[in-house]
């Protein structure tokens, strides 16, 4: 975070702005904020030391405005673009803060932290260091993100993985959205999921090593991993189940959502 702030402060080059697009040179990764009502947003991380923003309507005056340690996108002087399509290129490792009502958000090769809020738009992240996604009904897909992930939805489904490495970190909360997750869960892995009626499906690498807790009111457990010695009641597992050496933790709470464990 400090490095990002420093990069922006040291590089005060003015943005080249005009109808439909704007570019500003930066020394390295930046923090960038962008808001839309229903416009879709595509973001790509690149090796170039510049930020480029463009929209599909050349009549819109686009600008990149620096505020301290962050850059804010404006459209005809307003912070929020109503409709259309936005393309944004940022240096790899940048921190992204996107917010939309119903636009779809797609982030590719960011390499930095992605904070993404959507009401009904879908969110797709492929290659971030951290992903923090909140939607009401938008679906969420997160790939190639090894760091911490937090996903909250009301009814949006989430598909995560495959997660590289054994130290997956996921916090998932939903009312009725389903989660499909795949990866390994070993030392330092912590997956927590809480749903009302959303189902959870975890496809785990056989080299995984974790302790499983599952509390539920009326959900079912479908175990294709062969946890062994597991006793399920409608309240969930009577006691934590162990797979391998039990190094990581998978903690699932549902009201009526089912939990399925599969071998990856």
Partner 1 sequence: MRVPLVAVAFVLLAGSRPAAAADAPKSWRFTTGARAEVNVENVSGKIDVEAAPGSEVLVEAVTRGGTETDRAQWVTEVEGHGAAVKVRARCGGWASSCHSRASVELTVKVPPGSRVAVHGVSSDVRVKGVSGELRAETTSGDVQIAGAGNTSVHTVSGDVHVDGAAEISVKTVSGDVTLRGVQRESRLGTVSGDIRWQGACAVGCRLAADTVSGDLQLALASASSFDLDYRTRSGDFSDGFASSPQRSGREGVHTRIGKGEGSISFHSVSGDLELVKQ
Footprint of partner 1 on this chain (CB under 8 A)? 37-38, 82-83, 101-103, 119-121, 136-138, 154-156, 175-177, 196-198, 217-218, 233-235, 238, 255-256
| CA atoms of 24 and 52, how far apart (whole Å) | 7
Q: Which is nearer to partner 1, 222 or 238 (CB)?
A: 238
What the block records as the tokens of 170 is: 């996921």
Task: Supply the minimum distance, in Å, between the C-beta of residue 176 and partner 1.
Answer: 4
Is the alpha carbon torsion for 22, 24, 29, 35 positive or negative? negative
> How do 241-243 and 210-216 pair as beta strands?
antiparallel
Residue 158, strand partner residues: 140, 179
Q: Which is nearer to partner 1, 138 or 186 (CB)?
A: 138
Q: Which is nearer to partner 1, 19 or 234 (CB)?
A: 234
| CA atoms of 154 and 174, how far apart (whole Å) | 5
Task: Supply the minimum distance, in Å, between the C-beta of residue 139 and partner 1.
Answer: 11
Q: Is 223 exposed, middle or buried (0-12, 13-18, 19+ CB in 10 A)?
A: middle
Task: Supply the minimum distance, in Å, between the C-beta of residue 73 and partner 1.
Answer: 18
235 to each of 22, 207, 216, 253, how far by Cα in Å?
Answer: 56, 28, 5, 10
Q: Which is nearer to partner 1, 121 or 127 (CB)?
A: 121
Number of CB atoms found within 10 A of residue 171's CB: 16
Task: Supply the minimum distance, in Å, between the C-beta of residue 177 and partner 1.
Answer: 8
Q: Which is nearer to partner 1, 14 or 231 (CB)?
A: 231
Per the CB < 8 A criterion, the answer to whether 259 and 250 are in contact is no
Q: Which is nearer to partner 1, 91 or 121 (CB)?
A: 121
Q: Which is nearer to partner 1, 31 or 195 (CB)?
A: 195
Task: Supply the minimum distance, in Å, between the C-beta of residue 84 and partner 1.
Answer: 12
SS (H, E, C) 59-125: CCEEEEEEECCEEEEEECCECEECCCEEEEEEECCCEEEEEECCCCEEEECCCCEEEEEECCCCEEE
Task: Supply the minimum distance, in Å, between the C-beta of residue 199 and partner 1.
Answer: 11
Task: Supply the minimum distance, in Å, between the C-beta of residue 213 and partner 1.
Answer: 16
């Amino acid at each position: 975070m400090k490095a990002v702030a420093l990069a922006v402060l040291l590089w005060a080059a003015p943005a080249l702005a005009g109808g439909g697009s704007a570019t500003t040179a930066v020394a390295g990764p930046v923090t960038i904020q962008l808001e839309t009502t229903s416009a879709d947003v595509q973001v790509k991380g690149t090796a170039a030391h510049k930020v480029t923003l463009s929209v599909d309507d050349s009549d819109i005056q686009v600008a990149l405005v620096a505020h301290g340690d962050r850059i804010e996108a404006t459209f005809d002087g307003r912070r929020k673009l109503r409709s259309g399509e936005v393309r944004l290129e940022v240096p790899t490792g940048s921190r992204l803060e996107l917010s939309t009502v119903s636009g779809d958000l797609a982030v590719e090769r960011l390499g930095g932290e992605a904070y993404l809020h959507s009401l009904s738009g879908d969110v797709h992240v492929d290659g971030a260091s951290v992903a923090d996604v909140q939607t009401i009904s938008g679906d969420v897909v997160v790939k190639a993100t090894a760091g911490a992930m937090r996903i909250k939805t009301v009814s949006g489904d989430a598909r995560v993985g495959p997660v590289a490495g054994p130290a997956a970190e996921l916090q998932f909360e939903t009312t009725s959205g389903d989660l499909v997750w795949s990866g390994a869960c070993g030392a330092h892995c912590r997956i927590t999921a809480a749903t009302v009626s959303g189902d959870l499906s975890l496809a785990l690498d056989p080299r995984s090593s974790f302790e499983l807790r599952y509390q539920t009111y009326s959900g079912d457990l479908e175990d294709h991993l062969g946890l062994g010695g597991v006793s399920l009641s409608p309240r969930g597992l009577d006691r934590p189940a162990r797979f391998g050496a039990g190094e990581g933790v998978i903690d699932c709470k549902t009201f009526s959502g089912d939990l399925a464990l599969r071998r990856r």
